[in-house]
Amino acid sequence: MLTLQLRLLLLALRVYARIPLPARMADRVGGESLSPSRALRYLPLAGVAVAVPAAIVYACFALWLPHAVAVLGAMLAALLLGGAVHERGLCAWMDAIGARSASPGAMASASAGGGAGAVATGPGLPAVIAIALTLLARLEALSSIDPSWIAVVLVCAAAWSRGCAVLVASAIGTMKPTAGDAVIALALAAAPLVAAVVWTQDPTIFVTSAALALVCAALVRRQTRRRLGAAGAAAAAAAAAAATVAPDPGTPSPGDEPAPQADPAEADALVSRRAMNAVLGAVQVIAELAFLVGVLATLSVAEDVAEPEFS
């Protein structure tokens, strides 16, 4: 019998990543009525589970391929193992932010493509631009970092950015994690940074990068609450999240027989969960990019200081 904490960890790997699980464990996790919000305490570990294989892919590719190509391979591996869950969340968040209108209800309807019966049209132009710029910036930042730092930076950035996401989620949304979950997530997110500081004996790089990621996470939280409002953030972000998901082929079209009415409580829970995932994705992607930029900037400054001056 799997313990509760192990089931929550497996649930985090299943919901917030695409890590293959043994069929027996997957069935046990799927059979438990556990809310994904309870598994957020282990979200940083899900990031580590994605980043470690990506770092291994980079190390293997770097033996024969140029640095930039190896970085691209690591990014693709991370996207595949992570299922682009947070990137899709960023798209949903950008669509919700870009659909600003007179009221939160109108914003939600516009983001969903015209109402509950509208056909999903995919991410809008703000979401496409945002995800393209973040992926290009991530590639450029990693390509500019010294190869000897790539593995540790990938792991630390993945863990800390997810810790920042849980911290922001604890203040936004109705299905938010508890304060205890947020503390556990931050502790797990900080563990790779502490290990990296002990290993490299250079705390400046990781402290600066972590602080920059926290600042960017706070900006995302502020933008969410300011543009959408505390009450309408969940509905608008969830509607945008639904717009990025293709409709189920088995779902009747508007001309067919109407689908049975869903339970209002279950519908509200689904809306809240999608809203939370949208905010999680936005914070994680932006905080991870900020962490990479912080590492790159700190290393560049350190190299400039270390260069001898010639008269």
Q: Is 240 inside any structural domain? A: yes
Percent residues over pLDDT 70 in the chain: 67
| CB neighbours of residue 4 within 10 Å | 10
Q: Is 10 inside any structural domain? A: yes
Q: Is 143 inside any structural domain? A: yes
Residues 108-120 have a mean pLDDT of 38
Q: Is 258 inside any structural domain? A: no
Q: Is 104 inside any structural domain? A: yes
Give the H or E element holding residue 183: helix 179-200
The top-scoring range by mean pLDDT among 64-78, 90-104, 116-130 is: 64-78
Q: What is the pLDDT of residues 209-249, one digit of tens each?
A: 999 999 999 998 888 877 665 444 444 444 444 544 444 44
Q: Could you report how far apart the first and last alpha carbons of the chain are, in Å?
A: 72
Residues 138-142 have a mean pLDDT of 93
Give the H or E element holding residue 208: helix 203-228
For the purposes of burial, counting CB atoms within 10 Å of the CB of 220, is it exposed (0-12), middle (13-18) or buried (19 or more)?
buried
Tokens of 193: 């940074």
Percent residues over pLDDT 90 in the chain: 36
Q: Is the dihedral of CA 120, 121, 122, 124 positive or negative?
A: negative
pLDDT above 70: residue 121: no
d(CA 114, CA 107): 10
Q: Identify the pLDDT of residue 227.
A: 67
Q: What is the pLDDT of residues 261-277, one digit of tens each?
A: 545 444 444 446 667 77
Q: Is 21 inside any structural domain? A: no
Residue by residue, DSSP assigns 228-245 as: H-TTTHHHHHHHHHHHTS
Q: Identify the pLDDT of residue 107.
A: 33
Give the H or E element holding residue 158: helix 150-169
d(CA 233, CA 32): 29
**What long-range pairs does 195-203 form, CB within 8 A, spacing at least 24?**
196/152, 196/155, 196/156, 199/152, 200/152
Taking only Cα atoms into account, the Rg of the chain, rounded to an integer number of angstroms, comes to 20
Residue 201, Ramachandran bin (φ over 0: left; ψ between -120 and 50: alpha; else beta): left
Q: Identify the pLDDT of residue 24.
A: 64
d(CA 124, CA 107): 14
d(CA 292, CA 149): 11
d(CA 251, CA 121): 16
Domain that holds residue 269: 4-16+36-245+265-303
d(CA 160, CA 220): 16
Stretch among 70-79, 113-122, 123-132, 187-196 having the lowest mean pLDDT: 113-122
Q: Is 98 inside any structural domain? A: yes
d(CA 126, CA 97): 9
Instruction: Tell me if residue 17 falls in helix, strand or coil.
Output: coil
Number of domains in the chain: 1
pLDDT above 70: residue 43: yes
Q: Is 31 inside any structural domain? A: no
For 229, residues 6+ apart whose C-beta sits below 8 A from its C-beta are 104
* Rounded alpha-carbon distances, angstroms, from residue 6 to 9, 31, 179: 5, 14, 20
For 165, residues 6+ apart whose C-beta sits below 8 A from its C-beta are 43, 86, 217, 279, 280, 281, 283, 284, 287
Residues 53-59 have a mean pLDDT of 95
Mean pLDDT in the chain? 76
Q: Identify the pLDDT of residue 188.
A: 93
**Look-up of token digits 């209108």:** 101
Q: What is the pLDDT of residues 11-36, one digit of tens each?
A: 888 888 887 776 666 566 655 566 67
Residues in the chain, total: 311
